Amino acid sequence: MRYLVTGGAGFVGSHVALALIEHGHHVTILDNLSTGHRAAIPTGAQFHEVDLLDTNRLNTILANGPWDGVLHFAALSLVGASMATPYHYLRQNMLTSLNLIEGCVRYNVPRFLFSSTAALFNNQGNTPLSEDSPINPGSPYGESKFLIERALNWAERIHGLRYGCLRYFNAAGADAKGRLGEDHQPETHLIPLALDSALGRRPPLKLFGNDYPTPDGTCIRDYVHVSDLAEAHILTLNRLDTGSVTYNLGTGQGFSNLNILKAIETVTGRELPWDWAPRREGDPAILVTDPTRIRTELGWQPRYTKIEDIIETAFRWRLAHPNGYRGL
């Protein structure tokens, strides 16, 4: 199959592009390298440095098919940043995605797989979230992803586009063979920041908020290994032949921020320096999925079920790449 992968130079997109290539598919990556890295583009993938706002170039690439499907990872993706620049987030994520959806319809691309998010939900209780839990985004970022899910729904109803929405919970870890990892500039994600603080490469970690309605007062998240996410994309692409689907994608286990700090110390064997800081705006208290639907319908099973194993792959990549992709 020939797949177009937007955002394939980024953290999740590069791991999924690698998995597609390993499954024997042809991959062409579209990325503007705003947060991604040329060195993260897997060997064997073709690459166009292009911004999805550039509709002329985008349509030229889409016209140069046929494409069997598009996987759409490119986005602004930070909850906290979206609270500071809400209209930029809403505009950017909506316009880039609408350009792509419209282009896919125009050039008869049959499958569209979209990186949605747990940030559609704003859970304050401790029940796991199913696909049917109420949508109530806690941030403009989450709202932008919900609007794109709705746009895909209309593209199917009016034009028959088959789509999959995968609502990832927190992507973490790195390729087990060390070929790819997580490198954002600036980094805002808990696990890579905590690893660097433990390694003495950063100041003490700031832990945002200790007064959430959770047992230890810190936020709870469901961490899923990025290679397990990648495998779920392969299974979902196969499934699209029978209809559009929406799945929550996480392991179903919740870890508080304090649990994560402890696991970082276990994996690194070092003391992690940290301080309390005020809440970060836009953060829901608890995001944990009930993974029943994706497990039963796709047979998806995460290979990484222990948080220490997930962190260990990220730790090995950080050790081997102290400057991330810079210099590679």
Ligand X SMILES: NC(=O)c1ccc[n+]([C@@H]2O[C@H](COP(=O)([O-])OP(=O)(O)OC[C@H]3O[C@@H](n4cnc5c(N)ncnc54)[C@H](O)[C@@H]3O)[C@@H](O)[C@H]2O)c1
Peptide bond into 204 cis (omega under 30): no
Please select the residue that binds ligand UPG; options are 52, 100, 119, 237, rule is CB under 6 A: 119
Nearest to ligand X of 96, 289 (CB atom):
96
Q: Three-state DSSP class for 301?
A: coil
Question: x/- contact string, 15-54, with ligand UPG (CB under 6 A)?
Answer: ----------------------------------------
Nearest to ligand X of 90, 270 (CB atom):
90
Q: Which of 3, 89, 141, 247 is catalytic?
A: 141
Tokens encoding 319? 């050790």
Tell me which of ligand UPG, ligand X, none is bound by residue 283, counting a contact when its beta carbon lies within the kind-specific cut-off of 5 to 8 angstroms: ligand UPG
Nearest to ligand X of 4, 24 (CB atom):
4
Using alpha carbons, select from 107, 146, 127, 155 the residue that is nearest to residue 220: 127
Question: x/- contact string, 193-222, with ligand UPG (CB under 6 A)?
Answer: x-----------xxxx----------x-x-
Please select the residue that binds ligand UPG; options are 92, 257, 268, 289, rule is CB under 6 A: 257
**Alpha helix ranges (H) inside the chain:** 11-22, 55-63, 79-84, 86-106, 140-159, 190-198, 226-239, 257-268, 292-298, 307-320
- Give me the least distance between CB of 51 and ligand X, in Å please: 4
Tell me which of ligand X, ligand UPG, none is bound by residue 64, counting a contact when its beta carbon lies within the kind-specific cut-off of 5 to 8 angstroms: none
Find the binding residues for ligand X in span 51-80 (CB under 6 A).
Answer: 51-53, 73-75, 77
Tokens encoding 7? 């955002």
Tell me, yes or no, if 141 is annotated catalytic: yes
Please select the residue that binds ligand UPG; options are 89, 112, 169, 304, rule is CB under 6 A: 169
Based on the shown chain and the rule CB under 6 A, indicate whether residue 96 belongs to the binding site for ligand X.
yes
Question: Strand 111-117 vs strand 162-168: parallel, antiparallel, or unpaired?
Answer: parallel
Find the binding residues for ligand X in span 155-194 (CB under 6 A).
Answer: 168, 170-171, 184
The number of angstroms, rounded, from the C-alpha of 105 to the middle of its chain's C-alpha atoms is 24
Tokens encoding 128? 């796991």
| Calpha distance 215→136 (Å, rounded) | 23
Find the binding residues for ligand UPG in span 61-80 (CB under 6 A).
Answer: 77-79
| Calpha distance 242→302 (Å, rounded) | 23
| Calpha distance 12→3 (Å, rounded) | 16
Tokens 């955002």 sit on residue: 7
168, 12 contact by CB (below 8 A): yes
Name the residues that contact ligand X, by CB under 6 A: 6-7, 9-13, 30-36, 51-53, 73-75, 77, 96, 115, 117, 168, 170-171, 184
For the annotated catalytic residues, the residue numbers are 141
